[in-house]
């Protein structure tokens, strides 16, 4: 089976209401589509990078699915010690490059596959069917187990979103029950409403404490390719070992000149680097009146993304 680009929700600040809208938890994980037929099982993420060997828990298809062939869409989730989904933890699995380490990391970071859609079933494409019918088909073939679970619908979007805020979770996805699955599409038939903001930014500098990085200086590119400072942070989900590893990675990239076109808030003790590493950053607000920088940014995980994706998500945020 040839991997496809998944259907994406659009982002909104308001929750659509009324029939035929239903609501699901937005899991802070990694989007993965599962392809299975007589030739075997294959896993691909939203960027069409194969992840089959990363998640051996999903290889035993009969343990969770009765179909002969299928394409399922879902989210790979891993939990933090507090029991909440953690992007940092799941990236310990998804970011692996040495496959011989999979068995060890599999023990350290259990994963859960939260399945929310079905595109192909027993030799036939079903993506043009309404979500209501695709969900019925999915529940008919899926046998939930310790790793694979169907994502449930909630009838009250406001109540679900308030619960996500109370739990400090990412937000919700709102879907029309009459919507088809548009391969490679992005329409308002699916809407994501987030409890907080996040952005993929590039590292343009850092500061040290005792020879180890204690904060990174973040930037985004504009349409002309200029690199703008958007904030700095030393908080998030990184362990001391992660900070040591980052120090070893960034130290060789040090440069004399500041890579930013504007002056960072923290610059007197900064060490500048040529941007090469992307990081997912969570924030509470984009401060438009204060240099258009992030408020309370925190590091979620390092991500394997090209720097071309480290751009301003909205031109209204551009300085």
236 versus 274: which is more confidently predicted? Answer: 274
Residue 269 CB neighbour total at 10 angstroms: 9
Instruction: For residues 204-227, give the mean pLDDT.
Output: 93
Q: How many CA atoms lie within 13 A of 303 on its CB side?
A: 22
Split at pLDDT 50, 70, 90, the class of 196 is confident
Would you state the pLDDT for residue 80?
A: 87
**Residue 295 or residue 10, greater confidence:** 10
Each residue's pLDDT tens digit, 5-19: 999 999 998 999 999
pLDDT at 158: 96
Least confident of 166-180, 251-265, 286-300: 286-300
pLDDT in tens, 53-112: 999 999 999 999 999 999 999 999 999 888 889 888 999 999 898 999 999 999 999 999
Q: pLDDT digits over 121-140, tens only?
A: 999 999 999 999 999 999 99
Phi, psi of 68 (to 5 degrees): -80, -35
Question: What residue ranges define each of the domains in the chain, with the CATH number in brackets?
Answer: 8-194 (3.30.470.30), 197-317 (2.40.50.140)
- What per-residue confidence (pLDDT) applies to 82? 85
DSSP, res 311: B
Angle at 234 (CA atoms; ends 222, 31), nearest 5 degrees: 60
Question: Which three-class secondary structure state does DSSP give residue 135?
Answer: helix
Looking at the predicted structure, is the pLDDT value of residue 116 above 90? yes
Which of 9, 95, 14, 82 is closest to 51 using CA atoms? 95
Please compute the mean of the pLDDT values over residues 177-185 and round it to a whole number: 97
In this model, does residue 291 exceed pLDDT 60? no
| pLDDT at residue 255 in the model | 95
The average confidence (pLDDT) of the chain is 92
- Exposure class string for 115-126: b at 16+ Cβ within 10 A, else e: bbbbbbbeeeeb
Question: What are φ and ψ of residue 22, in 5° steps?
Answer: -130, 170
The sign of the dihedral angle between the CA atoms of 193, 195, 197, 199 is negative
265: helix, strand or coil: coil
Q: What is the DSSP code (8-state) at residue 167?
A: H
- Host H or E run for residue 176: strand 171-176
| CA quadruple 9, 13, 15, 16: dihedral, nearest 10 | -70
Please give the biggest Cα pair distance in the chain. 62
Q: Which residue has the higher pLDDT, 26 or 268?
A: 26
Using the predicted structure, report yes or no on whether residue 280 has a pLDDT greater than 60. Answer: yes
Q: With cut-offs at 50, 70 and 90, classify the pLDDT of residue 290.
A: low
Predicted pLDDT at 273: 96
Distance of alpha carbon 224 from alpha carbon 73, whole angstroms: 36
């Amino acid at each position: 089976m040839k991997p496809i680009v998944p259907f994406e929700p659009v982002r909104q600040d308001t929750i659509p209401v009324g029939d035929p809208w239903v609501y699901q938890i937005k899991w802070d994980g990694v989007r993965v589509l599962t392809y299975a037929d007589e030739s075997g099982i294959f896993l691909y993420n939203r960027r069409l990078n194969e992840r089959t060997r990363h998640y051996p828990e999903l290889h035993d298809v009969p343990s969770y699915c009765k179909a002969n062939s299928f394409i399922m869409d879902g989210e790979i989730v891993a939990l933090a010690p507090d029991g909440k989904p953690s992007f940092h933890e799941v990236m310990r699995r998804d970011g692996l490059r040495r496959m011989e380490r999979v068995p060890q990391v599999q023990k350290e970071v259990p994963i859960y596959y939260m399945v929310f859609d079905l595109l192909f079933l027993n030799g036939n494409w079903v993506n043009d069917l309404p979500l209501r019918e695709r969900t019925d088909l999915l529940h008919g073939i899926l046998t939930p187990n310790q790793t694979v679970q169907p994502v449930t619908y909630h009838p009250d979007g406001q109540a679900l979103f308030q619960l996500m805020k109370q739990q400090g979770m990412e937000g919700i996805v709102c879907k029309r029950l009459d919507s088809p699955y548009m391969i490679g599409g992005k329409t308002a038939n699916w809407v994501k409403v987030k409890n907080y903001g996040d952005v993929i930014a590039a590292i343009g500098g850092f500061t040290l404490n005792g020879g180890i990085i204690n904060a990174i200086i973040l930037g985004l590119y504009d349409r002309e390719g200029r690199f703008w400072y958007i904030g700095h942070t030393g908080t998030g989900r990184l362990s001391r070992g992660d900070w040591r590893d980052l120090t070893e990675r960034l130290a060789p990239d040090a440069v004399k000149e500041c890579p930013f076109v504007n002056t960072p808030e923290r610059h007197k003790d900064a060490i500048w680097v040529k941007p090469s590493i992307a990081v997912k950053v969570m924030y509470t607000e984009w401060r438009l009146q204060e240099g258009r920088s992030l408020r309370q940014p925190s590091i979620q995980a390092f991500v394997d993304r090209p720097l071309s994706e480290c751009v301003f998500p909205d031109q209204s945020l551009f300085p």
